[in-house]
């Protein structure tokens, strides 16, 4: 009986050790991917090299997982298809956890009056054109949910670009609701909302 118990304990220890080694391997691989790939466009801490690329710092973990899998599996088209094509699920989960844990930054809008227009639309929508408030899905602080992206502090140029992609249909995932919303926004409204979002913390 004692030898059976000892055998079970040994087997359990081996499994735990194997899991710890595998976790360490994935963590090391994630660090390597961040350094060799992600940092080129998004920066090591997810703050993005330029406004063309999205800030990933503090982005919602589940949302990042979905987007990386969509890029990898071709449901979303763009430069990221090549970057994500060989990522495993464990690596994707690790990357999402890494970037979601980074501290976000924001930039105070220079044109306060213009940002105020965006603030109104973000929180109240536009009842004359049938636009729902952005906050109704993305939250009053713009931090989204597990499934929906954090918008707070995102580069205005990137936000505007994504809205335009939803309008044109070139954004090939998550477009069922956002296409309907974006097509009702004027260019001024898009720019104003993006400016306001960029200043949220």
CB 170 within 8 A of CB 161: no
Distance CA 186, CA 68 (A): 30
pLDDT at residue 21 greater than cutoff 60: no
pLDDT at residue 106 greater than cutoff 90: no
Q: Is 126 helix (H, G, I), strand (E, B) or coil?
A: strand
Domains of the chain listed by start with CATH number:
2-100 (1.10.760.10), 112-198 (1.10.760.10)
Q: Is 85 helix (H, G, I), strand (E, B) or coil?
A: coil
pLDDT at residue 18 greater than cutoff 70: no
- Residue range 116-134: mean pLDDT, rounded: 97
Band (pLDDT 50/70/90 cuts) for residue 61 is very high
> What φ, ψ does residue 21 adopt, rounded to 5°?
-65, -45
The predicted pLDDT at position 14 comes to 57
Band (pLDDT 50/70/90 cuts) for residue 10 is low
The predicted pLDDT at position 19 comes to 53
Look up the pTM and report it: 0.85
Residues in the chain: 201
The predicted pLDDT at position 107 comes to 84
Distance CA 116, CA 120 (A): 6
Distance CA 68, CA 65 (A): 5
Band (pLDDT 50/70/90 cuts) for residue 98 is very high
Distance CA 162, CA 185 (A): 13
Closest among 103, 114, 137 to 194, alpha carbons compared = 114
Structure tokens at 29: 């691989």
Alpha-carbon distances of 187 from 126, 155, 167, rounded to whole Å: 14, 17, 11
CA-CA-CA-CA torsion sign (30, 35, 41, 42): positive
Per-residue pLDDT of 161-186, as tens digits, reads 999 999 999 999 998 899 999 999 99
């Amino acid at each position: 009986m004692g030898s059976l118990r000892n055998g079970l304990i040994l087997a359990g220890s081996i499994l735990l050790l194997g899991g710890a080694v595998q976790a360490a391997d994935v963590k090391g691989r994630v660090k390597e991917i961040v350094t060799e790939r992600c940092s080129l466009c998004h920066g090591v801490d997810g703050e993005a090299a330029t406004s063309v690329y999205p800030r990933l710092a503090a982005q919602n973990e589940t949302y990042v997982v979905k987007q990386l899998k969509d890029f990898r599996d071709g449901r979303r088209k763009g430069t990221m298809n090549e970057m994500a094509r060989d990522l495993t699920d464990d690596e994707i989960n690790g990357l999402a956890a890494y970037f979601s844990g980074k501290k976000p930054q924001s930039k105070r809008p220079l044109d306060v009056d213009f940002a105020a227009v965006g603030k109104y639309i973000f929180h109240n929508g536009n009842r004359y054109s049938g636009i729902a408030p952005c906050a109704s899905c993305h939250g009053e602080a713009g931090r989204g949910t597990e499934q929906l992206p954090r918008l707070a502090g995102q580069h205005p140029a990137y936000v505007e670009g994504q809205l335009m992609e939803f309008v044109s249909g070139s954004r090939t995932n998550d477009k069922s609701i956002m296409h309907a919303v974006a097509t009702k926004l004027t260019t001024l409204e898009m720019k104003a909302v993006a400016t306001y979002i960029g200043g949220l913390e």
